[in-house]
């Protein structure tokens, strides 16, 4: 089964920027209830989409005080647990990050490795792409960041 996820956050001065659980050196960071990690949020929604389990906002509401400043890797782990309880495993993940600057080239491998650890699949099954928006729109003007994620999940082979 295939699932799709999308997330975006406003970028503001003086906030940390976290992508895939990795801290990015940037003047601006995401304004959010949780840590605002668009990569992990879109990953969560793609996993929920593929398994027919709803969306991240239903599971971890942004008006719930317990998720204020939350480390988004907690959301990924909780969702992975839900999948495993249903004998589902993630086959592969493909992520596209939209950010005007900084360039993410030097961070891609760390993001990939961290996601591999979080969802417990080999790094070869995770792909990270980063794009600017050629100066256009809210991404281009550095008003925000967005991320798309697609993943495939499958039933664990019975042993
Ligand atoms: Mg989000």
pLDDT, tens digit, for every residue of 114-152?
999 999 999 999 999 999 999 999 999 999 999 999 999
Backbone angles phi, psi at 158, to 5 degrees: -70, 135
Give the integer Cα–Cα distance in Å for 143 and 11. Answer: 5
Cα 16 to averaged position of ligand 1 atoms, centre (Å): 14
Cα 28 to averaged position of ligand 1 atoms, centre (Å): 16
State pLDDT tens for residues 28-83. Answer: 999 988 889 999 999 999 999 999 999 999 988 777 777 777 789 999 999 999 99
SS3 call for 7: strand
Residue 150 sits at the vertex; the CA angle it makes with 148 and 154, to the nearest 5 degrees, is 160
CATH of domain 2-155: 3.30.1330.50
For the purposes of burial, counting CB atoms within 10 Å of the CB of 126, is it exposed (0-12), middle (13-18) or buried (19 or more)? buried
**pTM (two decimals):** 0.95
Cα 39 to averaged position of ligand 1 atoms, centre (Å): 8
Cα 95 to averaged position of ligand 1 atoms, centre (Å): 15
Residue 132 sits at the vertex; the CA angle it makes with 129 and 136, to the nearest 5 degrees, is 145
Cα 84 to averaged position of ligand 1 atoms, centre (Å): 23
Give the integer Cα–Cα distance in Å for 59 and 67. Answer: 11
Residue spans of the domains in the chain: they are 2-155
Cα 159 to averaged position of ligand 1 atoms, centre (Å): 37
Cα 157 to averaged position of ligand 1 atoms, centre (Å): 33
Strand partners of residue 93: 126, 151
Give the integer Cα–Cα distance in Å for 18 and 136. Answer: 23
Cα 37 to averaged position of ligand 1 atoms, centre (Å): 6
């Amino acid at each position: 089964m295939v699932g799709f996820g999308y997330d975006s956050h406003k970028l503001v001065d003086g906030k940390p920027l976290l992508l895939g659980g990795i801290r990015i050196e940037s003047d601006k960071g995401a304004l959010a209830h949780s840590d605002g990690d668009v990569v992990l949020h879109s990953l969560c929604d793609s996993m929920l989409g593929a398994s027919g389990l709803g969306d991240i906002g239903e599971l971890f509401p942004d008006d719930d005080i317990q998720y204020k400043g939350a480390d988004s890797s907690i959301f990924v782990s909780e969702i992975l647990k839900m999948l495993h309880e249903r004998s589902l495993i993630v086959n592969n993940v493909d992520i596209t990050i939209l950010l005007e600057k900084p360039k993410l080239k030097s961070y891609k491998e760390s993001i990939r490795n961290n996601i591999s650890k979080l969802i417990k699949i080999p790094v070869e099954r995770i792909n990270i792409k980063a794009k600017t928006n050629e100066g256009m729109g809210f991404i281009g003007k550095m008003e925000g960041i967005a991320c798309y994620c697609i993943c495939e999940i499958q039933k664990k082979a019975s042993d």
